[in-house]
Chains A and B, each alone.
Chain A
């Protein structure tokens, strides 16, 4: 299916998740900055990347807390006005992380919440991406990776259509031919 090689998937799994250890683990004290010995105590709270947390959860060594980007504060903001929330600041892989977390945590309301967030932001993306007025850095910097794929797809196809419509020749002059090049042979006197 290609998810193994998908670079977005790999980057997504690096997102930090806070977990609570259910068992003690020795020899991995690096994971817990607050431990004095080289081990992690039981019920210690540690921040791990998602891929590690996933594997440990499957071995029933940790229990996973809901990450901060799905907290109540974020939910309230999204319910207030979904389109203005800066999701990229919270996590550029907001939706994908939510999808992956879903089977791991007890709280099952993440799914509908994600759907609601996406649906309400979708109409904004639709209108903004099809009416290009130069770049919209303010809006496009608030989108997650997945949303900005969508946004870029629409915007680039609109831009190429407008460019085609203007007409002009089908061939473009290569930019390297436009510059005057100084003579490189050392015998000639170089003009400034």
Chain B
């Protein structure tokens, strides 16, 4: 989807966002001995068996594929933490809970490549799906409220993949609203007192309470 009809909106495909997420660090427990890897992005220390180290996910996945390590799931990926986050998401209809920026891509990668290292994987998987649904629903509810008066939209704690999904739509919707609401089109300001008046709270439309 990198080449859409409007060349001014640059979009990442989901695979590209996943590629960017692979730089996140994760803990692994190697079962071999290896010298330090000195790379441009950093040095990843000598690997000793049963001593856990932090490496980027792409390296962890590569080692796991060759059977040289086992991945320890990050601490946000436990059933209790995710249940807690899900309840908090459901309770606050305008805020997004803080979650790791790449949680969708990280969880997909770990489910695919390291599914035997995660306890209760089905539970974790369904919890993450639910969290994703609830958050996206909130994004949609917030998008319904933008109107001609909106100058900017603020979405706090949104994750990379969610941003990527709504980006083309939101940019174009804001452009269209700007075009329709520009002053030379609206020559009688009192006639625009319409249903948007009750929702208007000023020039900036936050999607969370200030």
Contacts and interface: CB of A to CB of B under 8 A. Distances in A.
Interface of A: 95, 99, 102-103, 108-109, 111-112, 114-116, 118-119, 122-123, 126-127, 129-130, 146, 149-150, 152-154, 156-158, 160-161, 163-165, 167, 170
B4 A153 contact: yes
B144 A99 contact: no
Contacts of B148: 115, 119
Contact of B165 (A111, A118, A161): A161
A136 to B, nearest CB: 16
A130 B187 contact: no
B108 A165 contact: yes
- Measured as residues with beta carbon below 8 angstroms from the partner, the interface class of chain B is 35 or more
B15 A153 contact: no
B172 A153 contact: yes
Nearest to B173: A150
Contact of A116 (B143, B165, B176, B194): B194
Interface in B186-206: 186-188, 191-192, 194, 196
Q: Is the interface of B mostly helix, strand, loop or mixed?
A: helix
Interface stretch (B6-14, B36-44, B52-60, B72-80): B6-14
Contacts of A153: 4, 9, 168-169, 172
Contacts of A170: 15
B124 to A, nearest CB: 15
- The 8 A-B pairs at the shortest CB distance, nearest first, are namely A164-B14, A111-B185, A154-B169, A153-B168, A115-B180, A108-B187, A150-B172, A157-B165
Contacts of A95: 176, 180
Interface of B: 1, 4-6, 9, 11, 13-15, 18, 108, 112, 136, 140, 143-144, 147-148, 161, 164-169, 172-173, 176-177, 179-181, 184-188, 191-192, 194, 196
Contacts of A157: 1, 11, 164-169
Contacts of A165: 14, 108
B176 A146 contact: yes
9 contacts: A111-B187, A112-B186, A119-B147, A122-B176, A127-B140, A146-B176, A149-B172, A161-B161, A161-B164
